[in-house]
Structure 1
Amino acid sequence: MILKLKYILKAAFLSQLLFSCTERSLEPRPEPEPVPIRLFTGIRTRATVDVFGDTPVCVAYGVRTGQYDGSWDGIATDNEIRLMPERYYPSDGSALYLRGYYPPAPLTADGRLTYRLTGEEDLMLTGEQSGSLSAPFGESDSQSLLYRHLLTQLIFALTVEAEDTGALRVRSLHLNGLADEVTLSLAEESLSPGERTVSVPVYEAGEEAEGLPFDGNKLTLPGYVLVQPSATLTIDLVLSVDDDRTHDREYRALPVRFEGGEGEGGTAYTVRVELPDPVIPDPVEIVAVATVGRWQEGDSGSGELVDNRSAETEQ
């Protein structure tokens, strides 16, 4: 009888132990702490990398390369992008594919952006980068979002073949051939200009202003214009020779010829116009020649966006 009781107690103990283990195994495991995504960035300008200063940017995201499900807003400062709000790596360890673009714009379901151009805005794009919990985004070029310029930058310099340039002034200079609208494909990393082109003022003196004087026989106009790559461009120039506007010399549709054949995106050119002495009657052919120069920094304004919000992907 005592032996039988021992077996009963032993069986009860084992049963209780088994129940206790089963109960513990059914308890939910604590969720791992989410890991925030930290992104590093810069601006690649002809083999140098510059930094941002509190600049709004966007970052397209997806779970497959070249396919983007939406975009995140961020602020780029120095060499880092702060996502707004904070975003996290997938907890299952899967990879995220990211590509940055500037300026912010609505992203369509097929991964395209549309901008209107005015000659002032700068369009920039990064290569695609992937990151996960086990292989996070980092500071190296192969792990960060480095922005590159997509448009062609033009600076204008004039030379006049005249001995006395004291009375000469540039009243206006307009550039013809800027695309009114461009579409950027993120997956293809390509810009497609619309059919319509516009004329933009590079410089225009007011009604009461004299215009820009020459320094000797040379003049570099202030500022720059940003145009679509491979654009066909012409220049309209008005030159004053005295105080009487009826004596102004007008040079219309001067062709712009690019070193290398056509203007390349992300490249700066100095457009040089050599003018004959204004007192010499026409007609000497004048051609503006664009040669590669140094990219100019400064406030480039912000693009006017075409409203694609009806097609915007849910974020």
Structure 2
Amino acid sequence: MASRIMIRLKRTLQALHAGDQAVRMTSWSKALVALLSTLLIGSLASQVIAQGARPLPMQQGHRLYNPSMPPGNIYYPPGPVNHTPEYFQPVAFSGPGKVQFSMPTGDGFQESQPELMVGLNVGRVYRFRVTNIPFHPGAELYPTVELLGRTFPPAGAELRHPIPLNLSETDLANALGGLMVTRVVYLEDPQSAFPLAVERKDATPIDVPTGQDLLATADTYGRPIAVIRIGSLAPPTSPVLMGQFYFGYPNWIPLQAPATGAAGAEPEPVSASNTLPHRVGDLPTAVQVGYTAPVTRRRSPTVVQPAASEPLYRLADQK
């Protein structure tokens, strides 16, 4: 029966295709053609749905950010943004040997000093100067730091818990050699952090492969709060380009670390030699205390060890 139906349908379709006007399709033939056409369309649709249901390939990287974003685009999304500064997050620069740091003032730089502490606005990009680099007399570097978030230490202890921005001798040497060094500082998840006491200046960075996303790696350990980019770019000679090089000279305030043994004291800010704002009276109430540790990537031809094979170091709560 089925074979006779298929033979009759085949002859009917051949006649229609040949343009035989004498062929007259009965109601039964029309219904059969419509039924087979429906089955064919349903089969094709099921194949399309099956193909469309395949999972999309996983993208290696952060769900919101990627390393190709220029400085300043990570924190601020597209669209109008209120750039009014609200809080100056304390950060502490440190490096090897007698290396010194200084911040721009609009007409130059402040006096260089080791272990510099300043207050920066979240979301802004700041360029600072590094001098007195070990084994490189006269050399200078102009890295950038971009704050993605802030910390919430106990009230009155903000200056005892700054975000540590540690530059190692290897980082500085690689930058002077023409490489680009990117570091991400993250606030650890207290539920998964290792209780390993390490001094703030002795924190060992975690090296990750060049193709691995730094922000995504740091996001697995906690909350990224700062990005440091160290390159060999020098300031332009044209005064017209200075504002662009220093990202519009965003506001910052000089701070002084509390003296040893003065735990809980609220030190006054150092007198600034410029017109930058001095604001320390709007420090918020603490809601959490975290620890920080850097994650480092060096853009070099050599392949560095992945983070999984490196020891994980944590910073202890600074007293």
Specify if TM > 0.5. Answer: no
Structure scoring higher RCO (CA < 8 A, sep ≥ 6) equals 2
TM-score of the aligned structures, taking structure 1 as reference length: 0.22
Whichever structure has more strand as a proportion of its residues is: 1
TM-score of the two chains, using structure 2 as the length reference: 0.21
